[in-house]
Homo-oligomer: A and B are copies of this chain.
Amino acid sequence: MKVFQQLNLNDAATKLLDKNLPGEFHLSGRDDRRFETFADCEIVFGNVPLDWALKSPSLRWLQLESVGVDPYVDHLGAFSEKNVTITNLHGFFGQQVAETALAGILALKRGVDKTVRLQAKGVWQGASLRYELTMLHRSRVLILGSGSIAQALKKMLAGFDAEVLLFARNPERADLTTREQLDKELSNTDIVVACLPENAGTRELFDRNRLGLLPPEALFVNVGRGSLVDETALVELLQTKRLGGAVLDVTKNEPLPAEHPFWQLPNVLLTQHCGGGTRDELPRKVEFFLDNLQRFRNGESLFGVVGR
């Protein structure tokens, strides 16, 4: 059975894959990423172009290298008809992204962004910085989402005696499930952390009106998708000090255009869509794939099936 490797691996990850790929699977795509090479592969590891996946005559299983399922998400019906299973890296990035979100929040609260900039200039400001700092302790945090990032973050926030509310569709996993409930809480929220996927219900969920409901000291954190927020409104609120700061792992356009005001805003941290990264990210992705490949081989159900 042929496996098409669409993602670029480093040495450690390549070795791991080559050493553990069961003998009946033949790997292609590493050095030859043409459609002709892809066309007779039953399995894909990595995010191939949508049109390739849709027109493949052979594809049975597509293992994405992401949690996000755009652009495939709008074509799940077509894949289902072709009996193509799509799996994502469900849960893979939860801990990492939650740590980046908290790193950004604590950096703004404890002035780490300021001291890093001072250090780059060799300037000792010292004691006067103290009176610009705030604490995470006992903050009210509203997490948008209830998946692995939200759960990891909620667990971390317990150590700060934070009050945490989750907003999501599923009432079993969330404290708030409607936009009305959400809007009622915003004026009483110190920090919003968005870790939502992109879909019709989340695009521009944080429009100008909703952002405006937050108190002027509040922090807005987005580690989900850039499409969630009206960036023009966010910039204006930050510039006019009607919002305290923002930690943005994602933006609508990435790389962020050079002229975008986010670059210059003093209370904005741009973590450059690296929230999910770790030194061993690629070998761990290979492990995820190999685990699923064993399940595929044994006829078991796969981890992270999309659309279920």
CB atoms of A137 and B99 under 8 A apart: yes
Where the two chains meet, the residues of A that have a C-beta atom closer than 8 Å to any C-beta of B are 10, 95-96, 99-100, 102-104, 106-107, 109-113, 115-120, 122, 124-127, 129-137, 155-160, 254-256, 258, 263, 268-279, 281-282
Q: How far is the CA of A258 from the CA of B119 in the complex (A)?
A: 10
Q: In the assembled complex, how far is the CB of residue A230 from the closest CB belonging to chain B, in whole angstroms? A: 21
A120 touches B119 (CB 8 A): no
Partner of A278, one of B134, B271, B273: B134
State whether B103 touches A106 (Cβ < 8 A).
yes
Residue of B nearest to A124 (CB): B255
Chain B residues whose C-beta falls within 8 Å of the C-beta of A113 in the assembled complex: 112, 116
Q: How far is the CA of A258 from the CA of B300 in the complex (A)?
A: 63
Chain B contacts of A127 at CB under 8 A? 273-274, 277
Asked whether B277 lies within 8 Å of A124 as measured between CB atoms, the reply is no
- Distance (Å) between the CB of A158 and the closest chain B CB? 6
Query: Does A104 contact B112, Cβ atoms closer than 8 Å?
Result: yes
Contacts A104-B112, A111-B271 known; list 19 others, CB within 8 Å: A95-B137, A99-B106, A100-B112, A103-B106, A104-B110, A110-B271, A111-B277, A112-B112, A115-B270, A116-B116, A119-B269, A122-B263, A124-B256, A127-B277, A131-B279, A133-B274, A134-B279, A157-B159, A158-B158
Nearest CB of chain B from residue A137's CB, rounded to whole Å? 5
Which of chain B's residues have a CB closer than 8 A to the CB of A119?
263, 268-270
Is A10 in contact with B156, judged by CB distance below 8 angstroms? no
The residues of B that contact A129 with a CB separation of less than 8 Å are: 272, 274, 277
How far apart are A308's CB and chain B's nearest CB, in angstroms? Answer: 27
Q: Can you list 9 A-B contacts (CB < 8 A)?
A: A103-B107, A107-B116, A113-B116, A115-B269, A124-B255, A127-B274, A129-B272, A130-B277, A155-B159
What distance in Å separates the Cβ of A232 from its nearest Cβ neighbour in chain B? 20
Question: Within 8 Å CB of A274, what residues of B?
Answer: 110-111, 115, 126-127, 129-130, 133
Tell me how far the C-beta of A14 lies from the nearest C-beta in chain B, rounded to whole angstroms: 14
Chain B hits for A279, CB < 8 A: 131-134
A93 to chain B, nearest CB (A): 10
| Docked-complex contact B10 and A131, CB < 8 angstroms | yes
Q: Which residue of B112, B159, B276 contacts A158 across the interface (Cβ within 8 Å)?
A: B159
Q: Give CA–CA (A113, B263) in the complex, Å.
A: 15
Q: Are A103 and B99 in contact (CB under 8 A)?
A: no
Given contacts A100-B110, A254-B126, contact A272 B131 (CB under 8 A): no
Measured in the bound complex, the distance between the Cα atoms of B279 and A106 in whole Å is 15
Contact present for A126 and B278 (CB under 8 Å): no
Is A278's CB under 8 angstroms from B135's CB? yes
> Smallest CB–CB gap between A226 and chain B, Å?
14
